[in-house]
Structure 1
C-alpha cells in the first residue's frame, strides 16, 4: 500500500500546524506540493516541511528556525486514545518504507494542482477563499480537508457537500479541538449517559487580537473574508458546544459588539443563548478584547449527575471532573500546548487519511462542519434583528 499524496493550499499563520501534522503522519501521507499566492511563503513552507521531516527521520530534537514564524514548530504527538473509535478499530496495514519525496513542489496557482496526481488537499487559506478552492478540487475529483469555517454562508456549504457526493470524494472540515484527549473523554461521558440529563453547556473564548494582528492581512476583520470573532476565533468552541449539547439547536438569541477595534468591519465580542429541541441551553461568550493577551478557552457541561469543565489555552486541560464516585481524571494534569491552535491537527489529519483508506466519512465531515456554521450565522442574524431566531 502506497502513502497518499497531499498538497497544502495556503501557507499563512495556520499552515505550520498542517506541516507538523503531515510530518507526524509521514507513515501514511507525503506532502508533495505547497501553494501560496506569495511565492516566498510557499518556499518557506516547503523548506520548513523538509527540515522538520529530516528532524523526525534522524530522531534529533531540534527546531526549524527561519525568518517567517515557522521557528516554533513543535514535535508534538497526539495520544492514540484521541483518535475516533473507527480510526482505532481499523487502521490500514503498515505501509512498507519507500523513499520519501524531495522537498514539496512550490506552486503559486492552486489550479495547477487540480489535474495532478495528488489524492487530497488541505486548505488553509483565508476563510473567504475556502469555498471556491474547495469546489475546484472537489469538481476535479480530489478529496478535500478545509480549515474552519468551511464556507461563509450555508448555500456555499451545501454546494460543497453536494459536490463531494457527486464527485464521490470525501469532504472534511478542520475541527481539531474535537481530538483533544480531554474532549474525547468528555464526549464519551455525554454519549454513555454519565451526566444523566444535561442541563446546559457553556463555551467561553477569552482571547486577545490587537491591531497588529488585524493589520497583518487586509482580509482580517472583513465580513467578506473573515466573518467576525464568532466565526473566526470562536467557531471551534461553538462547534464543541453544539457537539456536547448532543441535540439539534432550535433557536438562538445573541448580541454582538465592536468594542475596541474601530478599524475592522466585524464584531470583536459576541454573546449568545441557544436552546435545543429537548430544552437544553447553550451559552456562548466570545471576545478578542482580553487585556493584555489570551486568557483561556473553556467548555463546561452541567448535568444532573455530572459536572465537567475543560479549560487551558486550547480546551486541553480538565479543570473540573465530577461524577458519582469519580472526582478526578488522569488527564487533569496535561500541560498547555504552545499555541491556542493546540495539537489536534496531528490527529485531525490522521483521521482524514484513515477515512480515505477505509472509505468512510471523516469524523469531522462537511455535514459536521455545517452545524457550527449554521449556529454562528444564526447568532449574527439574531444580533442584527434583536430577536430570537428559530432555525428551520
Structure 2
C-alpha cells in the first residue's frame, strides 16, 4: 500500500502540472522533488541508533497530514502550481526511508538465507504499485475528478500505517552480523567504493539507468497528450511497464535470478532500447507494447538492484551499501530529470527521450567493457569483499 501511495501520488502530481498548463520541464521538476531526498540515504543509513521499524512508522505517520491536506487544496480548485513540489518532496522522503530502513528491515525478516526471496517480494510489490498507481490515478480522475483522486493516496497511506504497525509488532530473530565490532560511522562511507570496486561498478550502472531511462517517468502525461490520449489512457500508458514487471517479478519470487550481473546490465539495455522506441513512435499501440517490454527489463534490473550491492561488500557493511545505493539514485534520477526537462524544452519531448536512450546505451556498453575484470564475481553472485555465504545473491 505504501508503494501504491507513492506511485499514485507521482502520477497525480505530474498530471496536475500538465492540467495547469505548465511546460514539460515543470513535470520533470515534480520527479526531482520526489526522488531528490534519496541523496541523503547514505547519511540516514549510518544512523545505527535509529531503529528501522521506528523510522519507517514515524515517517508514514508524519506524511498523513500532508496527504490529506493536499487532497483538500486540490478539491477546493484553487491549488497553485508550487504546492505540488513540497507535496512530492514529502513523499520523496518516505521513498528514501523505504530504500534504506525498510529494506534493512526486510533483510532482518528474511534472514541470511531468505533475504533474496524477501527482496524479490518487495520488488514484486513495487512493480504492482508502478502498474496500479498510474492506472488508479487515471481512472479516478476520469470518474471522480482531480480532488477525489488525491484523496485516494491519502487513504492508502492511512491503511499502510495500520498494516505496517500490525505486521511488524513481532519480528523474527536470527543471528545477525556482529555490528558491535565495527565502529558506527556518522557520515557517508564513500571509502567503501574504493574498498569494493565491484560495488562502484554496480552503482555506476544504477546511475546510467536512472539518469537515462527512469528520468522519463514524469513525462507520461506529456506522452499521452502527444498521442491525443485522455486521463484514463494516460494512466494505462503509465501502467504498461508495471504490468510486465509484475508478471516477471512474480516468477522471480519463486525462482530468483542465478546470474545477477547479466540480468542487471541486460535489463538496463532492454529498458533503454524500448525508451528509444517510445520516443520515435507516433502510435499508441506501439508505445504500449514498447513499455510492456521495458517492464521486463525493469523486473530484471529491480530484482538484482538490492541484492548486488550487498553481495559486493562484507556483512557488516550491508547497511552502508544500501545507503550508497539510495544516495546514487537520489543524485542520478533528479539530475536526469532536469537534463531531460531542459532538452525537452529545446528539442521537444520525443527527441529528448531518444537522445537520452542512445546516450545511455553508449555509456552502458563502455561500462561493461571497462568493468570486465569484475564481471566474473558479479556474474556468479559472489561477494567481492569476502561476504558470507548467506549474503550471496545466487539462490
Instruction: Report TM bin, short chain.
Output: under 0.3
TM, length-normalised to structure 1: 0.27
Greater share of strand: 1
Higher helix content, 1 or 2: 2
Q: Relative contact order: is structure 1 or structure 2 higher (C-alpha 8 Å, sep ≥ 6)?
A: 2
